[in-house]
Amino acid sequence: MIEKGTCKKVPFFITSAMQNNDPLEVWLRGPLPEIPDLLQPVAHALLQASEELAIFQNTFPTRLLWEKPAGIASVGFHLQHLAGVLDRLFTYAREESLSESQIAYLKSEGTEPFEGCTYHNLLDHFGQQLQGALQQLRNTDPTTLTQIRYVGRAMIPSTHLGLLFHAAEHTQRHVGQLLVTARILVSGYPPQES
């Protein structure tokens, strides 16, 4: 669970990537140090997501964070879900079960974790999860990538690589949804009734 004041400062390598004005997407900038070759696309996608989320880090209005235009998921939900999914999928990739706190976080996604929670608070939490995910990628033995890993209580089989790849593509999908929702909200559409 995210509590007010518990988010740590996002590490330099993530903030510098978020503030990078390089016109090239992350995957076109070359290999990332210490990330195994087969996991470069995963790391590239996660870092690209971080850069795209940073677009609104200082500008997204807190009053709009939990709004659901046309009943679609809120920007706040997407930010919480991004952090939660990374945490859960990388837990399964380590061959671990979810903890009670991870299950509680899953159930709380979409609700304001504390009064006055901002886009920046949720982005910091995502940054913490991203830092952990990147460290796990650095520590991953490539010879384990085709090994079976199980997902959820139903123990659905996947592979180590499948989980890591899904974490990356799922992150990208939700970032796209978040950015569209955020742009709709900040544009003032749909007009608010007075």
Q: CA 153, 155, 158, 161 torsion: positive or negative?
A: positive
173: pLDDT strictly greater than 50 = yes
pTM for the complete prediction? 0.86
User: If you write DSSP's letter for every residue of the chain in order, what string do you get?
Assistant: ---TT-PPPPPHHHHHHHT---SS-GGGS-PPTTS-GGGHHHHHHHHHHHHHHGGGTTTS-GGGTT--GGGPPPHHHHHHHHHHHHHHHHHHHTT-PPPHHHHHHHHHTTS-SSTT--HHHHHHHHHHHHHHHHHHHHH--GGGTTSEEEETTTTEEEEHHHHHHHHHHHHHHHHHHHHHHHHHHHHTPSPPP-
* Higher-scoring residue by pLDDT: 7, 147: 147
Domain coordinates in residue numbering, the chain: 12-187
Q: Decide: 79 and 178 in contact? Cβ < 8 Å.
A: yes
Q: What is the mean predicted confidence (pLDDT) over 180-191?
A: 87
Structure-block tokens of residue 101: 């706190």
β-bridge mates for residue 149, sequence order: 158
pLDDT at 131: 98
Place of tokens 């742009």: 183
C-alpha to C-alpha distance for 38 and 146, rounded to whole angstroms: 11
Share of the chain above pLDDT 90, in %: 85
Place of tokens 């950015």: 179
Q: Decide: 111 and 7 in contact? Cβ < 8 Å.
A: no
Residue-wise pLDDT tens digits, 96-110: 999 999 999 999 999
Length, in residues, of the chain: 194
pLDDT at 10: 42
5 pLDDT band (50/70/90 cuts)?
Answer: low
C-alpha to C-alpha distance for 134 and 186, rounded to whole angstroms: 31
Spell out the residues 6+ positions from residue 139 whose beta carbon is closer than 8 angstroms to its own.
none
For domain 12-187, the CATH superfamily is: dinb family like domain (1.20.120.450)
Q: Give the distance, in angstroms, between the CA of residue 100 and the centroid of all CA atoms in the same chain.
A: 20
